[in-house]
A and B are shown apart, each in its own frame.
Chain A
Amino acid sequence: MRKNGRLNTAVLFIVLSLISLVYIIPLLWTAASAIRPAGSIYQYATPLTWETFFPREITADNFIHIFTREDFGIPLANSFIIASATIAFGVIVNSMAGFALARFSFPGKNLVFLLVLITFMVPFESIVIPLYILVEKMGLINTYAALILPAVGNGLAVFLFRQFFAEVPKELLEAGRADGASWPRIYLQILLPLSGPAIVTVMVMMFMFQWNALFWPLVAAYSNRLQVVQVAVASHRLTEETHWAYLFGSALVASLPPMLLFLGLQRFYVRGISKTGIR
């Protein structure tokens, strides 16, 4: 890394830039379509000109419209509440389960693990009706709970924590045990502090799972006051028409919270220092 440092960095930058073209082109065009006055969507798609990506006439009208005429703020707030509550409970509950599966042996453990895996291998459409009937019997239809509760337990999160915790050196945990610490204390004071990347990843994963939810909210929390962000975005596609500018505008606004969350948690991804604590 020391010799050729500058050259390596330059090459890396070029490679990353080339790759990013594939990302930037569609995204830039989408953003351009959202800040253009609402009109034909293909007008600037072909032939390709500078105007395809950098509109001559820009306006904030589309964004103003979705916030003032369509109350886009409400679904944004709803989804935010739901996603935040889900990760608050979910990180705890799923990391505990991942810990158990990674480091404990108990009767029925393999069956539990198998069932946990199965939970994300089944299409939602297959289970939506029984799930709906269940939630209805629990009297939770049209409440935040209907959207939060079924999502707190997350098989992917449990699986991820299990993989992560399986790497944590056994000696650390045994040392804690030898010191007389209770398991909850070991979990809270030894395990979790080491789990930064895993926790952060699960947070982003569960947040996005809730943020992207569309079908379940339509079915279980259909009251207007509970409308979630993806329903609001999707409502710009009608039978006979698609309001492209509003669709893209609202989709871009909706993509900001997950992006900001990811950005804000970046520092957990680049540490580059040993955190296993063992020398």
Chain B
Amino acid sequence: MFREAKTGWAFVLPAFLLLCLFKIAPIFVSFAESLQYTGITGEKTFVGAENYLFLFAEDPVFWNSVKVTLVYSLLVNPLVVVTALVLAMLVNVRHKFAVFFRTLYFIPAAISFAVVSVIWGIVLDPYYGLANGFLALLRIPPQPFFASSGQALLSLVFLIIWRSAGYWMIFFLAGLQGIPQEIFEAAEMDGVNRLQRIFRITLPLLARTISFVLVTNTALNFLTFAPVYILTNGGPCGATNILMYESYKSAFVNLDLGRATAISSVLLLIILLFSAVELKITRASFEY
């Protein structure tokens, strides 16, 4: 580390000022909102922790959302990151056909989330969709997907993987470029096999990229909104009613800004917690 405080501040200031103005300040306003009660004509009354107390003590819908969100998170984050990593390693070759596959896997990320949701709503239609059409060819009975509380969350996870694995793949590709070719050549000459090479050399050298992808992917997945809004409305029977969606409903349907911002503050805390744990784990595993 260079101990030149003035230079450090000079470099960080432009972005930091912009972020403070357009993100941090509104975040603090929003947190302040969670400590208030907003009446129907907009008058605000300070109520302290009342919104939070209500959430924790008297709101079973909130607790269901917490449960659903945690399960969702524990499923989707590792799956997306591992898929992205595997894809990146597979396409990180110099063959001409790699360009085609790299772009193909990336395409879903280039289509808006809302449209991807609409497409998968039809592909996974419980009765007449393409997926069930394929299953029919394999003599498998039609599956309800989003129309069943058992399968809805898993279908959602699948949709997220499909859409975002290719996107995070490019971050891993960038990270893989940072590993000098000589290291691989040396390893090969030492007789290290492919699997050992991946776990002993590639992954540790990718540690910072992995932690970046893990943390940001986790945060963004907690903020998933479009597919729930378009495909499930939190159902069936609350099976996909993630915290983000509850917060949205509070803000724009129940017009209860206090509860909405309280939920998003709790969500922020959860995300920070997960991020801290993830940073610790990647640091410990790879000791950077």
A residues apposed to B, CB below 8 Å: 1, 9, 12-13, 15-16, 19-20, 22-27, 29-30, 41-42, 45-48, 52, 93-94, 96-97, 99-101, 103-107, 109, 112, 115-127, 129-131, 134, 149-150, 152-156, 158-160, 163-164, 166-167, 173, 183, 187, 196-198, 200-201, 204, 208, 212, 214, 230, 233-234, 237, 242, 247-248, 251-252, 254-256, 258-259, 262-263, 266, 268-276
**Chain A interface SS verdict (over half):** helix
Complex Cα spacing A256 to B103, Å = 11
- A160 with B15, Cβ < 8 A, contacts A109-B8, A153-B22 known: no
Q: Within 8 Å of chain A (Cβ to Cβ): is B98?
A: yes
A-B CB pair tally, cutoff 8 Å: 308
Complex Cα spacing A187 to B14, Å = 15
Cβ-defined contact, B8 with A45, below 8 A? no
Residue of A nearest to B118 (CB): A247
Cβ-defined contact, A130 with B247, below 8 A? no
Q: Within 8 Å of chain A (Cβ to Cβ): is B105?
A: yes
- A163 with B26, Cβ < 8 A, contacts A23-B162, A123-B225 known: no
Q: Give the number of residues in B that approach A within 8 Å (Cβ atoms).
A: 107
- A42 with B128, Cβ < 8 A, contacts A96-B14, A121-B271 known: yes
Cβ-defined contact, B162 with A125, below 8 A? no
CB distance from A184 to the nearest CB of B (A): 9
Q: Which of B110, B129, B182 contacts A258 (CB 8 A)?
A: B110
Cβ-defined contact, A115 with B24, below 8 A? yes
Contacts A/B (CB < 8 Å), 13 sampled: A96-B12, A104-B1, A118-B272, A120-B219, A123-B244, A153-B14, A164-B178, A197-B174, A200-B174, A234-B114, A237-B114, A268-B174, A268-B177
Complex Cα spacing A12 to B95, Å = 10
B58-66, B74-82, B131-139, B231-239 - interface stretch:
B131-139
Measured between beta carbons, the chain B residues less than 8 angstroms from A276 are 178, 180
Complex Cα spacing A248 to B171, Å = 28
Complex Cα spacing A29 to B134, Å = 13
Q: Which of B3, B173, B181, B212 contacts A273 (CB 8 A)?
A: B181
